[in-house]
A and B are shown apart, each in its own frame.
Chain A
Amino acid sequence: MKLKKEYFEDVKFFRNRASAFWAMVLILTLVSFPFLFKTYYLSILNLMALNVIVALGLNILVGNTGQISLGHAGFVAIGAYTTAFLLQVGIPFVFTLILAGLITALVGAFLGIPSLRLEGPYLAIVTLGFGLAVMVIIGRMDVFGGRMGMSIPRIKLGWTGLKYDEALYYVFLLITIFMIFFAQNILKSRIGRAFSAIRDSDIAASVIGINLSYYKTLSFAISAFFAGIAGCLWALYLQFLTPGAFTLMMSVLSLATVVLGGLGSVTGSVLGAVVMTFLNLQLDKIVDLPVIGDLISGFSNAFMNPSGIANIKWVLTGLILIAVILFEPLGINGLWIRVKRYWRLWPF
């Protein structure tokens, strides 16, 4: 009576043709984007891409392994400054990218060492301190221009025959797609399962043969690797680095991204990063909205300081964060799963 089963079915990236179809549509849209829209929008997409990569890595650490990091800005900074340094020395971009990832991963592994012994709040504090310390140290190092910052040389993209901005956009797109696949594969493999096992029960995990030290460190390293790659792209995106770009707020927002998107899922990371980036850019324009905008600016003029109205973005982000935990702990991904169930096989 045994049903014949296709075991590879579960391993495949796309579970069915419908999702593969939609992914193709999405990728084609993104590829044709530069021909359809203005360059300004490209830079928004680039920003989203960066945040997707950070979120992917952070989610593996937080959502899957159940560890906490409040210092991811520190990793991003290390990736960015490594890139700045290597590019200035004249190392080709491809190597710079890989090195930025690997060096950051190494630092991540080192930070992972205390995590072997530490429980939740203590780890949160260590990582928080790490993020702040990185900025202090970088700000004091002359190679990195200290507090003055340093500029990033453009990478060589002339051979593509495209405008620099467009070529850079494709670089971002390619890397992001690769990182999404990578993250998904990690989570579907024995390594990803080991991470989730540690999250659910570290005792049981060790008893079935999972080396907790190794996998916690690995999780930190992988998470930092993603942040390092994102940092490399940050450097290209900003073109000029100052230590002030990587604050505690950046770490907090990265965590917010992951929680908003949905803990423990790649889709969640992607959705979270896209939505969060969008909100971040749009929230301070909230006063331009019809009814709500008038209410808010009225309130602002009466009780607050109108010049500080840009800060409303923090207030709203904070409220969204709290609301997610209170009402939808699985984040946007939780909603998405329901929608997807409904649309599963369309249009086949």
Chain B
Amino acid sequence: MITQLLINSLVAGSIYALIALAMNLIYKASEIPNFAQGEMSMFSTYITFLLLTTFGYPFSIALTGTLLFAFLLGFIFEFLFIRRAKEPNLLGFIIITLGFQLVLFGLAGWKFGSDQRTFSLPFSETEILIRTESFVLTEHNLASIIIAIFVMAGLYILLNHTKLGLAMRASQQNVKAAKFNGIPTDRILGISFGISSVVGAIAGILVAPVATLDPTMMWDPLIKGFAAAVLGSLESLPGAVIGGLLLGLVENLFGYYVSLEFKSIVAFGIIMLVLFVRPSGLFQKHYIRKV
């Protein structure tokens, strides 16, 4: 049983980690918590659905199309709205992301109807790969874990071993200095939003078969992803991954040993607990403003 729990934790944790990563990519670049992120993933997932089911493209094309769409969605969001904020402050930015969330939510409901649709991927959540005495492993389980690892590795390489990654990290650390050194910081921010949106879209595609596709499908995963991000600190990418895995584990253990009913609010409990002990997450030092 414990093996099964670990598998479930790992799967859930991988997905949370992806959402948390998407969150942190933007937060690190702009200090904006992107509340539109859930809806952005949801909308991108609908695009996969559209390409796959309505247009009947093979999965590879549908996936490529989706990721392209997701990138543009993030980039355009930054370009059209975030960049144009008049008196940028945290509340203003949060409102903009919430506004965008409403727009996408409405568009999805308008275009796709608010009824739930089913969704089939090459890796099914019912096909069982391995079945033993103590656990079962489905295709979807394995795919989630592998894809998450791929995305993480990809991000690592992108940020640490490419010119773009260098520019991204430079503008995260000091926008003025980066600009001074000829880095187009605005465009870099747009690209960060794009990449974040792609990571979010992948998470959405992985969530959809389990949660069924409808405009509210990301509400719950989003808060979990957020919890994961907070757990590991909004400023740290490895923190996001560890936070995600930790949350998956705690949630599943809680669900099994304590109460299945209240499993879904464990995330909230964890956020409260962590923030109470360490107000900036587990992997970040609290900062005192200098006066």
Contact = CB atoms under 8 A, between A and B. Distances in A.
A259 B96 CA distance: 11
A164 to B, nearest CB: 34
Given A311-B107, A312-B106, A326-B84, A319 B99 contact: yes
Interface in B16-55: 27, 31, 33, 35
Which of A119, A318, A319, A326 has its CB near the most chain B CB atoms (within 10 A)?
A: A318
Interface of B: 27, 31, 33, 35, 81, 84-87, 90-92, 94-96, 98-114, 219-220, 223, 226-227, 230, 234, 261-262, 264-265, 267-269, 271-272, 275-276, 279-281, 289, 291
Interface stretch (A149-157, A221-229, A248-256): A248-256
A219 to B, nearest CB: 15
B233 to A, nearest CB: 10
Contacts, number: 166
Nearest to A323: B99
A167 interface: no
B268 A114 contact: no
Which of A118, A263, A310, A311 has its CB near the most chain B CB atoms (within 10 A)?
A: A311
A325 B234 contact: no
A145 interface: no
Contacts of A256: 95, 98-99, 102
Which of B27, B35, B81, B110 has its CB near the most chain A CB atoms (within 10 A)?
A: B110
Given A118-B279, A129-B271, A255-B95, A136 B265 contact: yes
Interface stretch (A9-17, A31-39, A89-97, A299-307): A299-307
A326 B81 contact: yes
Interface string A253-285: 001100100010000000000000000000000
Interface string A44-84: 00000000000000000010001010100000000000000
Interface string A103-122: 00000000000100111111
A137 interface: yes
Contact of A321 (B95, B113, B227, B276): B95
A124 interface: yes
A122 B279 contact: yes
A140 interface: yes
Contact of A132 (B99, B268, B289): B268
Given A315-B110, A325-B86, A68 B94 contact: yes
Contact of A114 (B81, B105, B111, B272): B272
A308 interface: yes
A252 B223 contact: no
21 contacts: A122-B275, A125-B226, A129-B223, A132-B219, A133-B265, A248-B219, A252-B102, A256-B99, A263-B91, A305-B112, A308-B109, A311-B107, A311-B114, A312-B110, A314-B102, A314-B103, A314-B106, A317-B99, A320-B99, A325-B96, A326-B96
A175 interface: no
A313 B230 CA distance: 32
Interface of A: 62, 66, 68, 70, 114, 117-122, 124-126, 128-130, 132-133, 136-137, 140, 203, 248-249, 252, 255-256, 259, 263, 300, 303-305, 307-322, 324-327, 329
A68 B35 CA distance: 13
Given A117-B275, A312-B106, A314-B106, A130 B268 contact: yes
A311 B39 CA distance: 14
A259 B87 CA distance: 14
B101 A318 contact: yes
A126 to B, nearest CB: 6
Contacts of B102: 252, 256, 314-315, 317-318, 321
A322 B96 contact: yes
A174 to B, nearest CB: 32
B261 A140 contact: yes
A305 B113 contact: yes
Contact of B86 (A129, A311, A329): A329
A117 B279 CA distance: 6
A125 B265 contact: no
Given A117-B276, A122-B230, A329-B87, A140 B262 contact: yes
A217 to B, nearest CB: 14
B66 to A, nearest CB: 19
Given A124-B94, A308-B114, A252 B101 contact: yes
Nearest to A139: B261
A304 B109 CA distance: 9
Contacts of A132: 219-220, 223, 265, 268
B280 to A, nearest CB: 7
A249 B102 CA distance: 9
A102 to B, nearest CB: 23
A140 B259 CA distance: 12
Nearest to A316: B106
A119 B234 CA distance: 12
Nearest to A322: B99
A20 to B, nearest CB: 33
A62 B89 CA distance: 13
Contacts of A319: 99, 103
Q: Which 9 A-B pairs have the closest CB atoms?
A: A314-B106, A318-B102, A321-B99, A311-B109, A315-B106, A318-B103, A129-B268, A322-B99, A121-B33
Nearest to A321: B99
A307 B109 CA distance: 9
Contact of B226 (A128, A314, A321, A322): A128
Given A140-B261, A304-B111, A326-B85, A311 B106 contact: yes
Given A129-B226, A315-B103, 14 more contacts: A117-B275, A140-B261, A203-B289, A252-B102, A255-B95, A304-B110, A308-B109, A308-B110, A312-B110, A314-B103, A314-B105, A318-B105, A319-B103, A321-B102
